[in-house]
Homo-oligomer: A and B are copies of this chain.
Amino acid sequence: MKFICSQQSLSKALSTVSKAVTSRTTIPILKGILLNATADGKLVLSASDLDLSIEKTIPDVNVIEEGSLVASSKLFTDIIRKLPNEDISIEQKEDKTLIVKTSISEFTILGISSDEFPQIGEIEEQDKIVLNKELFKEMIRKSSFAASIDESKGIIVGVLLEFTEEYINMVALDGFRMAVIREEMKNSKSNKMIISSKILNEVNKILADIESDEDVTIILNNKKAMLQFENIKIVIRLLEGEFIKYKDILPKESNCKVTVSRNLLHESMDRASILSREGKNNLIRFSITGNLLTITSRSEEGNVKEEIPIDKTGDDIEIGFNSKYVLDVLKVLDDEHIVMEMVSGIKPCVIKPVDGSAFEYLVLPVRIS
């Protein structure tokens, strides 16, 4: 293998594929990145931790001799990142060493035979979905944060992606709160899949790094999903199992509906949480009386009271929350005002934008004495 490639293209591609490299693996080859220089002038970089595989193709590479080799991800990425932005010559020697060369630098590093590297390849297509890139990013951002981060909790570390003929829904929950986002979208048939929220967050970072507005194509079967966009292929092992029947959890009615400035509520809760005790569920108390929301919390160090003007219809209410779960949703929403719908101090509260039904967030209250 021998090729010449610009430092910038190579460094950018490495930053993308290295997101699939895990440092926690006991399989040495998975700490590597597969370099594959093809006869038609392409360099294909791949990495995989078996759950997530990423492949990026750099077109228009000057391939002098085709071939493939695996290089240590950390070392190779470090070297390429620190080289100046000029053409880099990369050559495999007979003894599997790799020579990385520019006008003033010459690195000789150990390579590993590509024979053992997992094939990413194609997946058997049962369904195909095309999604707008910005929409997909937004939906990931507004759902994945609510998934459980506790690997022992099974299916709820994943985000449900549910496609009907008219909608795409994404749902995540962790037993204390749930985020549901829905967008209109034509699909040829209904389908669903569950993807680890950790993997979706990596996908979102990759989507944020690319400049083109090309749509994301998802090729799907019941074991795997393959995302394709701009010379990038991402293969994801789907989580197996039944997702929680989330529609049954969403309350059908409320006794108290509060409209409040998202920013004012965010700032007040941020301050009040200084004095909410971590050991005690970060308890914050909301007292909703007339057109005033009073937020209080206390710890050994003192107590705080915040008063925010609101619009309210329905009953006055007293309700306690874990401040983290409310702050999380206030951070991902962009709306100027939000609505909180409550039934009572011991029933789930729904937080959503003032307009539309595109987003709903459900949070369980903390019982207050």
Where the two chains meet, the residues of A that have a C-beta atom closer than 8 Å to any C-beta of B are: 72, 75, 78-79, 82-84, 97, 104-110, 264, 267-268, 270-271, 274-275, 301-308
Contacts and interface: CB of A to CB of B under 8 A. Distances in A.
Contact of A302 (B75, B301, B305): B75
Contacts of A84: 267
A305 B72 CA distance: 19
Given A104-B308, A308-B104, A82 B271 contact: yes
Contact of A307 (B82, B104, B307): B104
A42 to B, nearest CB: 26
Given A82-B271, A104-B308, A110-B302, 15 more contacts: A79-B271, A82-B270, A97-B302, A104-B264, A104-B268, A105-B268, A105-B271, A105-B305, A105-B306, A106-B305, A106-B306, A107-B275, A107-B303, A108-B304, A109-B302
A79 B267 contact: no
Contact of A105 (B75, B79, B82, B304): B304
Task: List 6 A-B pairs, minimum CB-CB distance, nearest first.
Answer: A109-B302, A106-B305, A82-B271, A107-B304, A78-B274, A108-B302
Contacts of A275: 107
B268 A107 contact: no
A166 to B, nearest CB: 43
Given A75-B274, A82-B274, A274-B79, A302 B267 contact: no
A307 B106 CA distance: 9
14 contacts: A72-B301, A75-B274, A75-B302, A82-B267, A84-B267, A104-B268, A104-B308, A105-B268, A105-B305, A106-B306, A107-B275, A109-B302, A110-B301, A110-B302
A275 B74 CA distance: 12
A289 to B, nearest CB: 15
A306 B83 CA distance: 11
A305 B101 CA distance: 10
A303 to B, nearest CB: 5
Contacts of A308: 104
Contacts of A105: 268, 271, 304-306
Nearest to A264: B104
Contacts of A107: 271, 275, 302-304
Contact of A301 (B75, B106, B264, B267): B75
Contacts of A267: 82, 84
Contacts of A104: 264, 268, 306-308
Nearest to A75: B301
Contacts of A307: 104
A270 B82 CA distance: 8
Contacts of A270: 82
A150 B231 CA distance: 50
A369 B306 CA distance: 70
A271 B303 contact: no
Contacts of A301: 72, 75, 109-110
